[in-house]
Structure 1
Amino acid sequence: MPTSDNRRISDLGTLKAIAHPLRMRLYRALFVARTATASQLADQVDEAVSLVSYHLRKLADHGLIEEAETRSADGRERWWQPSSYGFSIHDEDLRDAPELAAASAAFGRTVHEQRALMHHRFLDERHTWPEEWRSASVSSEWLPRLTAAELAALGEELDAVVQKYDQRARAAEAAGDTEGRENVAVHLHGFPYRG
């Protein structure tokens, strides 16, 4: 059973494991599916089952995912689930550790590229979605002048709002309310910049 906590990654091995582009795609697909087999995930990421199985075992070796209760009648398929409600990487864990900082930067670039591809796909396919989804989609940019403490507080508040909606949706789905629900990506970046 996955914990409701957000796992904090602070070791190089785990950070390198999740920074791998295919592993990040698999983790994201598994997080959305809640539980899945290697063959189900292989279909989603369009890769060979053997390759997906290998990368799932690597994620499990680092405690990012775990075996789930089997849903197969014959029990031959291995089911997986995330081991926690997401994960986080904190700057203070990277200080005085150049190898961790480099791995974190590689992870950040991988995630950014995958998020951009998801958004590009939506933009390309936008016309195929019903009007209610096209109208509901959000794309905004704000450029406030904040202190570091204000930016941190803003991030915490926004995170709490998204988690509230996600937990509400998960509870509704568990109760059988699946009508009209779609996977939704909410990407947020908040960072200082000059010029």
Structure 2
Amino acid sequence: MADKKRDRRITDVGTLKAIAHPLRAQLYRLLVLARVATASQLADQVDEAVSLVSYHLRKLAEHGLIEEAEPRSGDGRERWWQPASDGVSVRDEDFRDAPEKAAAHTAASRMFLDQRTDMYRRYIDERAYWSDEWTSASDDSEWLLRLTPAELAELSKELGDVVRRYEERGRAAVAAGDTEGRENVAVHTYGFPFRV
């Protein structure tokens, strides 16, 4: 995967629908974190049958979202998977030109938001079990700004650049064997206009 893209931009409804399935989105996230995994390993994490997970992984692969990886064991029956890119992006501008495309984008956006909300709700419910160090480092902020569209686009790009720097730092540390004290961390940002 030396030529792996930074982010794959999803521009067609078929691929959007493929990743907008709740289980597939969850499997994709798990693969991004693990970098490589088998259907069996992922099935254990999502508490689903291996056959069902294998089916959904094949659907993600049909749309080029994941791909087969080099085997990590001598068991020839195991099929290893990896993300085809370091992430995906979905932009409103790619789905505005037809009502059915806009509806698919809206449904996908709502599903992604529901899953992100569930992730954060789980953290809130389990916060008492995390160390003071982790709960102090966690963030829940809201800023209300007055910006132009160009300023919002610039802000979004700058935030993305910062997160990518930390992502690369974490991956390099793990690759070097520095895993002590590291946990999976979700960073969700939303920048959108609203009127009062």
TM-score interval w.r.t. the shorter chain? Answer: over 0.9
Distance in 1, Cα, partners of 2:172 & 2:83: 17
RMSD: 1.0
- The 4+ residue runs of structure 1 with deviation greater than 6 A are none
Gaps of 5+ in 2: none
Deviates more, 1:170-179 or 1:150-159: 170-179
- Partners of 2:99 and 2:81 in 1: CA distance: 33
Q: TM-score under structure 1 normalisation?
A: 0.97
Which residues of 2 match residues 131-150 of structure 1 at below 5 A?
131-150=132-151
Deviation of 1:75 after TM superposition, in Å, equals 2.3
State the 1:95 CA deviation.
2.5
Name 1:44's counterpart in structure 2: 45
Distance 1:148 1:104 in 2: 20
> Is 1:119 the counterpart of 2:120 in the alignment?
yes
Contact 2:22 2:111 in 1 (8 A): yes
Shift of 1:99: 1.8
1:82 deviates by 0.4
| Residue identity opposite 1:178 in structure 2 | T
**Letter of the aligned partner of 2:29 in structure 1?**
R
For 1:163 and 1:31, how far apart are their aligned partners in 2? 14
Residue 51 of structure 1, CA deviation:
0.6
Q: CA deviation at 1:122?
A: 0.5
Give unmatched runs, 5+ long, in structure 1: none
Deviates more, 1:183-192 or 1:68-77: 68-77
Distance 1:140 1:172 in 2: 28
Counterpart of 1:55 in structure 2 is: 56
* 8 A contact 2:92–2:105 mirrored in 1: no
| Aligned AA (2:50) | V
Residues 123-143 of structure 1 show CA distances to partners (whole Å, capped at 9, x for unaligned) of 011011111101100000000
The separation in 2 between residues aligned to 1:12 and 1:111, in whole angstroms, is: 15
Deviation, 1:172, is 1.0
